[in-house]
Amino acid sequence: MKKDWAKDFYKMQYEFIGNYGKDFYEVSAVEILSQIGKPIENLLELGSADGSLSRALSNKVSHITTVELVDNLVEKAKEVNPVNINAINGDFLEIDLQNTYDAIIYIDGFGLGDDSAQLNLLKNIKQWLKKDGCGLIDIYQPEHWKKADKIEMYVDPKNMPNIKRRYTYDYKNDVMIDTWWREGEEETKQSQYLKCYTLKEIKDMFEAAGLQIIEYFTNGAMDYETMTYTEDASSEKCMSYRIKVVRS
């Protein structure tokens, strides 16, 4: 698996698509708060991009800390964040955070690096969680991404008719590879590499980190033959699933 790809890929991705709009994040925030299931005072978001999701959460959470690798996205966040969001530029696989949090969220991005990197991050998450806190983490599901192997498409044919992506799957390492480029400029392409896990595999890893899965939520699925998206899918067919964890 290629290393040190994340900063270049996420910078390119944001340059192509920006954020998804306020309504998208408002809906996501409502869902996240419902899944947390109780009022919280402070929250940590890992991989926060330009901070749009945390801003949508900021009316319901007193204090939010975000950690994002791409420096210019952190600067964008700081320009518009309310005062109750502390945006940090750093690598959350290495960062040393001294505070503990009622909730930690890592939405759409888990799987950077090998199993040992994932395990170290999970051990850090345990340390960052308060004793009665919980985490929400999205995990890519391997069976879906095996079906996406070698699929090529436009990211958004209507709004971005010149931006393409290609999915490939590394069967040996269970890694989904997502490559983006501007049509006619394939030499500038960038890829993300995310390790995929079954629910059983991720349960074992979380237990090794001292975390317990107490609930999970499936996300949607794409049918690549008809190119149609289904909002609700089973745990065997979904693109990803969200797990809710607490300290063991």
Strand partners, 135: 104, 245
pLDDT digits (tens, 9 = 90+) for 35-61: 999 999 999 999 999 999 999 999 999
Looking only at the bridges linking them, the beta strands covering 175-182 and 160-170 are antiparallel
Q: pTM of the entire structure? A: 0.95
21 has a pLDDT exceeding 70: yes
Which tokens is 128 given? 């960052």
pLDDT digits (tens, 9 = 90+) for 137-189: 999 999 999 999 999 999 998 888 999 999 999 999 999 999 999 999 999 99
pLDDT digits (tens, 9 = 90+) for 180-225: 999 999 999 999 999 999 999 999 999 999 999 999 999 999 999 8
Q: What are the structural domains, with CATH classification, of the chain?
A: 6-137+200-220 (3.40.50.150)
Whole-angstrom Cα distance, residue 64 to residue 26? 16
Quote the percentage of the chain above a pLDDT of 90: 90
